[in-house]
Amino acid sequence: MNILQAILLGVVQGATEFIPISSSAHLIIIPWLFNWDDPGLAFDVALHLGTLVALLVFFAADWVRLIRAGIMSIVERKIGDDIDRRLAWWLVIGSIPGAMAGVLFESKIEELFHAPNAQHNASAMIAMGIIIALLGAALFIAERIARHTRALKHVSLRDAILIGCAQALAIFPGVSRSGATITAGLALGLEREAAARFSFLLSAPIIAGAGAKSVFNLVRDGIASSELTIFAVGFLAAMISGYLCIKFLLRFLQRNSTDIFVYYRWLLAALVIVVAVMR
């Protein structure tokens, strides 16, 4: 991998992690289309850490407030009507389905769609294209079956569990963590901006967990000095693009629907399926 490839993939990771078009799919599709080598474990770590830092920095004030509220709820053994205490616990509970799915199924899904230094199976790529299109259809429907009037403070335990279960589906490349959770939030009647904000907050524990696992594997296997530059470039590109895309999407959804992302997903799905069939 060269510097330009690292920058491109870092920007793609940061953007597609938060825009509901699937980062995992894009990180498979782009090297597949251009016949690039697998970027390796160190680069995977860089991307996870970059997007995690973007989340932590952008929502720094929220994290401080929510962590304090969560700790106080434990000390006082009471949640009550405190919005921040409820939200802190909803994020913990909502993260459980995704964490369980990652532990149980991630390695098997990874082998199928993204085995290092192996050619991608055409059938797997077609399946991913179908998944991309289906999630686009789900997002299209979610925009139209509910009135998006509920603010973030109205998120309930039931909402957190259902959105958390939707996040678990993101283990399949093409689903998209933000795509699944925003779709679920919209279907439950949340305001578009509120659905995105809850989605981003909910993604932090899962991204942190995936990053911790990747860091552990990297420490165990070691990192070559030649990979350090690529690591730094990927980290910075993912962090900057991730921060900017969080900011963009929260503002965009205050006045616009998610239809543009639906149409993009359908076009991307068509591209993947056509290329997979023709190769």
Could you read off the pLDDT of 157-200 as tens digits, one per residue?
Answer: 999 999 999 999 998 989 999 999 999 999 999 999 999 999 99
Tens-digit pLDDT profile for residues 35-56: 887 777 678 888 989 999 999 9
Measure the CA–CA gap between 231 and 239, rounded to whole angstroms: 12
Distance CA 135, CA 127 (A): 12
> How many Cβ atoms from other residues are within 10 Å of residue 8's Cβ?
16
Which pLDDT band, with edges at 50, 70 and 90, does 118 fall under? Answer: low
Residue 164: which of 145, 141, 180 has the closest Cα?
Answer: 180
Which residues are CB-contacts of 91 (< 8 A; sequence separation ≥ 6)? Answer: 66, 160, 201, 202, 205
Global pTM? 0.92
Asked whether 165 and 97 are in contact (CB, 8 A), the reply is yes
Between CA 101 and CA 258 the distance in angstroms is 26
Least confident of 65-69, 90-94, 201-205, 223-227: 223-227
